[in-house]
Amino acid sequence: MENVRLFVIPMAAALALSLVTPAASAIAAPVPSAKKVDCKKAKCVALTMDDGPVAGTAQVLDTLKKYDVPATFFVVGKNAAARPKLLARMVREGHEVGSHSWDHAQLTKLSRAAMLKNLKRADKAIRKGTGKRVKLLRPPYGSNDANVKSVEKSMGYRQVLWTVDPLDWKYRNTKTVVRNVLKATRRNSIILTHDIHATTRAAYPKIIKSLKKKGYTFVTVSQLLRTR
Ligand SMILES: [Zn+2]
């Protein structure tokens, strides 16, 4: 399984590159090289963005491209269905896309059948945008119980929570968000943020520059979980 995945990703990247014209590929930023990072050696960190995509997510992708770092987006299915081109761009530019349910439902409040229906609907929308199987689920609010875990297992998902929470939904202040992230981030941290907030979107350049300066290497969540 690991070998298959390692083989498939470079092929997909090569295909994506082959689809742009030679002139465009010469000036395009390279696909972030997270796939090659070994987090046993590198000081890795995973930046994650929840609840989008929204129109402003394009700006986030521009920032990630500018600094050549990969991230992981936990998208809400109905937002993904509304903006499939942004999902395609995420994948094309080396990012990972996971599920955050269809409508940001608190999964522990749903019956098993309703939960399955909700997650399958999100899954379909995400696959349509990314062309890839969904592997990761971040349950909204981190809301979790045996029933959620059982459904995740039946869907073939791995649950991803977080280790750093700057409370950016609460502190709509860019400086506070940057400070909270920098204060709490350690090696192999999974940083929770929300790209739906303009204040958070404005924080990404500073977060990325500061963490790079401290020697961190940005990776996707799957990369982090695979090699840390
Ligand atoms: Zn959320």
| Longest Cα–Cα distance in the chain | 53
- Look up the pTM and report it: 0.85
**Average pLDDT score over residue span 158-178:** 98
Angle at 66 between CA 29 and CA 180, to 5 degrees: 145
Q: What is the pLDDT of residue 140?
A: 98
Whether residue 6 lies inside any domain: the answer is no
Whether residue 28 lies inside any domain: the answer is no
Is 21 a residue whose pLDDT tops 50?
no
Whether residue 7 lies inside any domain: the answer is no
Whether residue 220 lies inside any domain: the answer is yes
Whether residue 13 lies inside any domain: the answer is no
Residue 32: pLDDT band with limits 50, 70, 90: low
How far, in Å, from the CA of 43 to the mean position of ligand 1? 27
Q: How far is residue 37 from each of residues 33, 137, 197, 213, measured CA to CA in Å? A: 7, 23, 30, 17
Whether residue 23 lies inside any domain: the answer is no
**Amino acid identity for residue 26 in this structure:** A
DSSP 107: G
Q: 70-80 pLDDT, tens per residue?
A: 999 999 999 99
Report H helices in the chain. Answer: 2-18, 22-27, 57-67, 77-82, 84-92, 112-130, 146-155, 174-184, 198-201, 204-213, 221-227
Whether residue 113 lies inside any domain: the answer is yes
DSSP string, 114-136: HHHHHHHHHHHHHHHHHSS---E
Q: 104-124 pLDDT, tens per residue?
A: 999 999 999 999 999 999 999
Active site residues: 50, 194
Is 67 a residue whose pLDDT tops 60?
yes
Q: What is the CATH number of the domain that holds 188?
A: 3.20.20.370
Residue 117 exposure: Cα atoms within 13 Å on the Cβ side: 5
**What is the average pLDDT score of the chain?**
89
How far, in Å, from the CA of 160 to the mean position of ligand 1? 12
How far, in Å, from the CA of 97 to the mean position of ligand 1? 14
The C-alpha atoms of residue 205 and residue 69 are separated, in whole angstroms, by 11
Angle at 160 between CA 154 and CA 163, to 5 degrees: 160
How far, in Å, from the CA of 101 to the mean position of ligand 1? 9
Is 17 a residue whose pLDDT tops 60?
no
Count of the separate structural domains present in the chain: 1
* Domain housing 90: 33-227
Helices 146-155, 112-130: axis angle to 10 degrees equals 40
Residue 227: pLDDT band with limits 50, 70, 90: confident
Q: What is the pLDDT of residue 31?
A: 53
The C-alpha atoms of residue 92 and residue 126 are separated, in whole angstroms, by 14
DSSP string, 34-57: GGG--TTTS-EEEEEEES---TTH
